[in-house]
Amino acid sequence: MRPSCYDWKGGGIVKRFLNKEIRLSALPLTWFFLGFAAMTLLPGYPILCGAFFITLGIYQSFQNAREANDILYSALLPVAKGDVVKGKFLFVALIELCGFALMAILTLLRMTIWADVLVYRQNVLMNANLFYLGTALLIFGLFNVILSAAFL
């Protein structure tokens, strides 16, 4: 009987790879850059930079995983290679969804509670609204198509 740490059979394999990505491959910089979603609250600043920084954190994690031969390590495991790709893609989706959720919450606050604040009413740059959230999703989608496809 094999120990449970080597039990790669079953439905939880992708969950295990996602856990590996979160605990081993993700740089602290990735989690720090999630806080840049709070740029939504900065008046007179290009708030879409928050989405850029979130994708930059993912890119840095991919670069670090490449330098640490994480792909080789994962490929040598006795699992389907598609599960490795699913784990990396779910990691990217998790980071982007966390960032988007934070942006959406702050946009909702800015559109409702702080809508009458003078500094937000006279903003010369993009205001936090539904168009901003759609543009952030477009940035995440372009990142997934261009960069994630190249790595995965």
pLDDT of res. 98:
97
Can you give 23-85 as a three-state secondary structure string?
HHHCCHHHHHHHHHHHHHHCCCCCCCHHHHHHHHHHHHHHHHHHHCCHHHHHHHCCCCHHHHH
Quote the CA–CA distance of 68 and 145 in Å, as a whole number.
24
Quote the CA–CA distance of 88 and 17 in Å, as a whole number.
8
Tokens of residue 2, six digits: 């094999």
Amino acid at 26: A
What would the pLDDT profile of 91-100 be if each residue is shown by its tens digit?
Answer: 999 999 999 9
Report whether 78 contacts 21 (CB < 8 A).
no
pTM given for the model: 0.86
Residue with tokens 């590996």: 20
What would the pLDDT profile of 37-78 be if each residue is shown by its tens digit?
Answer: 999 998 888 999 999 999 999 999 999 999 999 888 888 888
Closest CA to 92 of 132, 65, 129: 65
> Which has the higher per-residue pLDDT, 148 or 117?
117
Amino acid at 36: F
For the stretch 98-116, what's the b/e string if a residue is b when 16 or more beta carbons lie within 10 angstroms of its beta carbon? ebbebbbebbeebeeeeee
Q: Report residue 9's pLDDT band, with 50, 70 and 90 as the boundaries.
A: low
pLDDT of res. 1:
43
The mean of the pLDDT values for the chain is: 87
Look at residue 125 and give its three-state secondary structure.
Answer: coil
